[in-house]
Amino acid sequence: MRAYPPSLLEALRKKQHLVRERGIDILVKPIPDDDRPGAMDRRLLEITEPVVRGLRGFFIQLFLPLFLKNRNPRLLAAFMRRFFNGVQSLPLAEGVSVRHDTVRNAGVEIPVRVYRREGGAAPRPVFYYIHGGGFAAGHPDVVEEIVKQVTALSGCVGVQLDYRLAPEHPYPASLDDCYAVLKWIYQNAASLGGDKNRICISGDSAGGNLAAVCAMKDRDEGAGMVRSQVLLYPTVNLAGREDENYRFSLDQFTILKEHRRSILFRIKSMRCSSEGVLGCVLGLRDQSPPYVSPYLGNLAGLPPCLIAYAEFDCLGLESEAYARKLAASGVPVRVIRYLGLGHAFAEFVGVQPQAEDCMAEIGRFVAETGREPA
């Protein structure tokens, strides 16, 4: 079931092109049916405009930044759960089964879901996915179609978890859960139909942070569990440190005049939520340690990485900077920029053609990096 004609997918792929920017190659994916520079995709515009239009929009834009700057972690968590817990996708994947299981971690039962495509030979690569939601929101249902679609396209074994959320469970509870499930996958891969030596770890937004940190911790401990990583618009610099690779400013965004109000709302609302809010929810005073802000750590020796992000996401600049730092550290990195979209676009599988295209790119990456050595 799709909310768009397949021709938009074809147009998107015909228009894609490679650019070289500040030392890295970026595969640019334009809006399939709008060639205007700085335009917002009309499907996202239809969702955004009612929020920013008129008196209601005026008050939302006035008070949202003020609310997000409050330092009550429970109120912030309630706000994020109100807006991040909805399922936006439509079912596309067929022939994928789901099995529910639990992983025990120091007395805590962590729910996990295991996805398998019908047919195919085992062992298969494993796609381990961690949902986003600002460390305080989100759940497996929100991203289930992402995991199903990648599983269907690549033939891998998909796994995701329902990790403990802040502020009820402060840092490092979420990281501990995610790393415990990574070890469980590695130890039980054969019984899942997967190959323990071909695990791709992935996540979006805060989940991208957790995936990147798990890959870093795996390297630091010399465990060798992670073969590759896929990060969707990850938040990797919670400390907000600027350097030669990263600087946030609105003048780095090309914005079509007619869409300016909606675009700025998307960028600024996410920017507000990333300025100290996540650290507050996690219960952290210092957000600079690498296991909190992996961007500030040593990236040498990390596994190959695919990073995908949207043009009108404040985390896009952060994603690009992380890609440049990975490349400078000798890590093979593939970068994709989707024009006209905002944060969390991958959740719109079946609704936006770019989300489906992104799943195809991830599926290819998982298959390529998950090939058995010759």
How far lies 69's CA from each of 74, 179, 205, in Å? Answer: 13, 31, 20
Structural tokens at position 125: 């690569």
CA torsion sign for 252, 254, 255, 257 is positive
Spot the catalytic one: 205, 269, 293, 319: 205
Spot the catalytic one: 228, 313, 319, 357: 313
Entry field: residues in the chain: 374
What is residue 105's DSSP assignment? E
CB 52 within 8 A of CB 262: yes
CB 282 within 8 A of CB 135: yes
Determine the Cα–Cα distance for residues 243 and 153; give it in Å rounded to an integer. 38
Longest alpha-carbon distance in the chain: 63
Spot the catalytic one: 139, 169, 259, 343: 343
Determine the residue type at 76: L
Active site residue 205: yes
Active site residue 343: yes
CB 218 within 8 A of CB 182: yes
Of 79, 81, 2, the closest CA to residue 43 belongs to 2
Determine the Cα–Cα distance for residues 255 and 41; give it in Å rounded to an integer. 12
Of 123, 96, 97, the closest CA to residue 185 belongs to 123
The phi, psi pair for 147, rounded to 5°, reads -65, -40
Determine the Cα–Cα distance for residues 29 and 143; give it in Å rounded to an integer. 22
SS3 201: strand
User: Residues 195-231, buried b or exposed e (16+ Cβ, 10 A)?
Assistant: bbbbbbbbbbbbbbbbbbbbbbbbbeeeeebbbbbbb
Catalytic residue positions?
205, 313, 343
